[in-house]
Amino acid sequence: MNLASPFSLSVVAITALALLGLPIGHSMIAGSILYLWLAGLDMGTSAEQLLNGLYTSYILLAVPMFILAAELMNAGTMTDRLLQFCNAVVGRFRGGLAQVNVLQSIIFAGMSGSAIADAAGTGKMMQQLMTRDGKYPASYAAALTAVTSVIGPIIPPSIPLVIYALISDASIGYLFIAGIVPGLLLALSQMIIVAIDARRKNFPVEKPVPLRELPGITLRAFPALMLPVVLLVGIRGGVMTPTEAAAVAAGYALLISVAIYRSVTPGQLYHALLNSARTTASIGMLIAGALVFNYVVTVENIPQSLSVILKSWDLSPMGFLILVNILLLILGCVLEGTTILLVIVPVLIPTAEALGIDMVHFGVMVVVNIMLGLVTPPYGLLLFIMTRIAEVPLRDLVHDVMPFLYAMIAALMLITFFPSLVLWLPRLLGYQG
């Protein structure tokens, strides 16, 4: 590639602007406009691509609705009720509070659609609970909170899977269903490590919740627990599209918080709407920048060129998936997941399709990879976030993260080598592939 070519200069400009602190979405828009100018193309094309991509994609409406649902759940007492349920189920075992951290990640999965938001929200709460009275080392609690946060965007409803569906034309409904087993596999791998550490490090046993209180705790948490069930049954039954399901999720969260739990004040509702708007605007600008830059990538014929190169390597489908695993784990250390999904993954999809790889399996594997990259040393973004939240040295945090990371990579390999683990549930429900 010519280092003085418009495309090369565009990439340099995007990188430089991002390093200077400009949001990556704005950087991609600016770099793409520079490319159009240098290439002698109509710079107004950038606005055309941006508007067409944002305003003709019905599927993108799911993103703000899922974000609003999460904000409404966090605004009321739904979070507290769900944590009480988790503690009642697994808190009685040795290292029970650590197991609660894992279980809450399954139950809260998809509430925010963002691993970083989960770490800063319910994850921060679990960090405080685990370190209270010195029950767990701060670095261990922070490490566990970081790794459990990656489960949320895998188990449905999931914003990363919605975005993948946007760029791949894969079925959102089947992607949601396919994410269930991989998410549970990651959680199981974490629970196994916690159980081993609990015995080895003699973690405390929490005061057990009397069994007679379990039905009452479950009943109080039941409306919140039913949200994922309502969505999946509605989508699978054909009652609603995934985008409509996102709106139902927001309406359901509002109904439960206001009418049943009566725990959301007008002020909290206002802040939930405001926070949702801010988060949506942030994600929207990132998507807008990626749409414009993807036009540049298409004009430069990058996907086809990469496909030709990979074909010349004569990779088998499994060899290609292993190569993608390595690439995405590395990129996940330094890039935000949505950026990878919108910029890198579209370049890989044509080759995956040419090799006959199932797009649902590929999508779930991609999202799992990106999430693991967030806790992969030395530059995993969640590691830096948890060092600030927990105020622990990065070295200690990485030391405690590594056993969990090894276990999750083993789960990723199972997902990669055995597509049936991902596809059996969608096929049971009618997926043809």
The pLDDT assigned to 23 comes to 79
What mean pLDDT is predicted for residues 199-222? 79
What mean pLDDT is predicted for residues 353-373? 91
What Å distances lie between residue 183 and 3, 118, 170, CA to CA? Answer: 42, 15, 19
- Of the chain, the percentage scoring pLDDT greater than 70 comes to 86
Q: Which of 272, 300, 328 is the last residue of a domain?
A: 300
Instruction: Write the DSSP string, 181-242.
Output: HHHHHHHHHHHHHHHHHHHHHTPPBPPPPPGGGHHHHHHHHHHHHTHHHHHHHHHHTTSS-H
The pLDDT assigned to 405 comes to 93
Is 172 found in the same domain as 38?
A: no
Q: Which of 268, 300, 332 is the last residue of a domain?
A: 300
Which structure tokens are listed for 375?
A: 């806790």
368 or 311, greater pLDDT = 368
- Checking if the pLDDT of 151 tops 60, the result is yes
Query: pLDDT band at 109, cuts 50/70/90?
Result: low
What Å distances lie between residue 254 and 68, 78, 134, 218, CA to CA? Answer: 9, 11, 37, 20
Per the CB < 8 A criterion, the answer to whether 123 and 145 are in contact is yes
The pLDDT assigned to 423 comes to 92
Query: pLDDT band at 125, cuts 50/70/90?
Result: low
Per the CB < 8 A criterion, the answer to whether 412 and 372 are in contact is yes
Interval 159-170: pLDDT, tens: 788 889 888 888
Is 127 found in the same domain as 24?
A: no
Per the CB < 8 A criterion, the answer to whether 284 and 166 are in contact is no
Is the C-alpha dihedral spanning 313, 361, 337, 36 positive or negative? positive
Query: pLDDT band at 384, cuts 50/70/90?
Result: confident
283 or 403, greater pLDDT = 403
Is 108 found in the same domain as 12?
A: no
Interval 16-27: pLDDT, tens: 887 787 877 788
Is 86 found in the same domain as 50?
A: no
The pLDDT assigned to 119 comes to 64
Instruction: Write the DSSP string, 312-362.
Output: HTT--HHHHHHHHHHHHHHHHHHS-HHHIIIIIHHHHHHHHHHTT--HHHH
Is 286 found in the same domain as 258?
A: no
The pLDDT assigned to 336 comes to 66
Is 179 found in the same domain as 287?
A: no
Is 88 found in the same domain as 51?
A: no
131 or 170, greater pLDDT = 170
The pLDDT assigned to 76 comes to 67
Among 195-204, 233-242, 366-375, 400-409, whose mean pLDDT is lowest?
233-242
Q: How far apart are CA 36 and CA 200, in angstroms?
A: 60
Q: Which residue range(s) make up the domain with 352? A: 59-280+301-429
Interval 404-417: pLDDT, tens: 999 999 999 999 99
Is 140 found in the same domain as 17?
A: no
The pLDDT assigned to 254 comes to 84
The pLDDT assigned to 59 comes to 66
Is 65 found in the same domain as 50?
A: no
Is 226 found in the same domain as 110?
A: yes
Average of per-residue pLDDT values in the chain? 80
Interval 298-316: pLDDT, tens: 787 776 676 677 777 778 8
- Checking if the pLDDT of 2 tops 60, the result is no
Interval 242-279: pLDDT, tens: 678 778 878 888 888 888 877 778 888 888 888 888 87
Query: pLDDT band at 133, cuts 50/70/90?
Result: low
Per the CB < 8 A criterion, the answer to whether 115 and 332 are in contact is no
* Phi, psi of 10, deg, nearest 5: -65, -45
What mean pLDDT is predicted for residues 185-194? 93
Q: How far apart are CA 273 and CA 64, in angstroms?
A: 10
Report pTM: 0.74
Is 286 found in the same domain as 423?
A: no
Q: Which of 271, 300, 329 is the last residue of a domain?
A: 300
Is 114 found in the same domain as 233?
A: yes
The pLDDT assigned to 304 comes to 67
The pLDDT assigned to 124 comes to 63
Interval 52-90: pLDDT, tens: 777 766 667 777 877 787 777 767 677 677 777 767 776
Among 104-118, 310-324, 348-362, whose mean pLDDT is lowest?
104-118
The pLDDT assigned to 413 comes to 94
Domain count, the chain: 2
Among 35-49, 106-120, 130-144, 231-245, whose mean pLDDT is lowest?
106-120
Query: pLDDT band at 116, cuts 50/70/90?
Result: low
